Amino acid sequence: MSSSPGLGRAGTGGDAGIPRQAWLVLAVATAGFTVNFWAWALVSPLGAYFTDELGLSPLQKSLLVAVPVVVGSVGRIPVGALTDRYGARSMFPAVSALTILPVLFIGYVGNDSYPMMLLGGFVLGLGGTTFAIGVPLVNGWFPPARRGTALGIFGAGMGGTAISAFTTVGLMDAYGLEFPFTLVAALLAAYAVLAYLLLRDAPGRTTSAGGGLRRTWDTVRLPVTLQLSFLYAVGFGGFVAFSVYLPTNLRDAFGLSPGDAALRTAGFVALAVVMRPVGGILSDRLHPIPVLVTCFAAVTVFAAISALERPLAPFGTVAFLAMAAALGASSGAVFALVALVAPAGTVGAVTGVVGAAGGLGGFAPPLLMGAVYGWIGNYQPGLWLLAITAAVAACFTAWGMKVR
């Protein structure tokens, strides 16, 4: 593993040279990421409700909550390329406004039919693409020495999934099924206006030329893109998988009520969200590589403990929370590494591909867990597979990841 002086340590410079507008842009972008991720995660907390109402099998339920994940993940590739071309100032308001449509469709039209729910979830994936808009925006406003911290703060917007886990079921019980969808649609509309008024692309932003397909293919061919995609598929993919499927896991494996399972999942997500900026800050101070190795090693150990299905108090709870912390910190560290190694003018495209890999990393596990549970009646094989995959990621990061 080698690094040049320019790309080795993230740096220790101060904040004196960072304009005030950079912090405003970071705050607005983080708020937008949060609201869009809240929308993206609206279906997952209601998985048990729709299972009962529509008579879904475990595999059908897994597919219902996974469809927005995969669409939001794959969609990051074209959205990232478009952001490199047209800028986040145009893309953030546009995607936020378009996400209103599937939110209202699910809330008012498609919630009594499984095929219609799948259609609504497919389009709802738009909300998950905003990650590929925010990363190049924030990256352009901050110097290399502070990009890990800034991107970690922006990445905390994935806490929108925690807000959804904490509030969706309670709002539905109190005010009806339509209310949480109406609330989120209103927030998206307000944010689209706010983003149009306040967001600005960084001065001197490099605009990508050429066709979108060509730029995407050139990005995929970069060795660093594929390396980072694998790491993010393990780190963020593990987080996404747990955030969408942990309520079902806790209910089936430990007999928790839907409300209790949703609350515990929200705690898992909240801890991961808090740790994402920590991962970025540590990466600025130490370098992303040792941070990632430590995180993946921790996931290996605690996923193995979880696979034993020990009682929730205290072993299961400690294991799940430790994995949340490690997965959150690793997600921040990966994008600190993106900020160091992505070529100029390609941060959006690289983010799109890497972000897609992260989301896709969270798509397969819920389907696998649902199929395994329907077949053998427990989730142990899936958790053992996570432990093995995290161990491979730790070894690859330590000895195979090249930072030039």
Q: Give residue 158's identity as a one-letter amino acid code.
A: M
pLDDT of residue 236: 83
- Cβ–Cβ < 8 Å for 371, 59: yes
In the predicted model, residues of the chain with pLDDT beneath 50 are 1-13
Q: How far out from the chain centre does Cα 7 lie?
A: 25
Phi, psi of 343 (to 5 degrees): -60, 150
Domain ranges in the chain are 20-201+211-399
Handedness of CA 318, 320, 325, 329 (dihedral sign): positive
This prediction's pTM: 0.75
pLDDT of residue 213: 66
pLDDT of residue 207: 65
Q: What is the dotted CATH code of the domain comprising 20-201+211-399? A: 1.20.1250.20
- Cβ–Cβ < 8 Å for 224, 3: no
How far apart are alpha carbons 164 and 257 in whole angstroms? 17
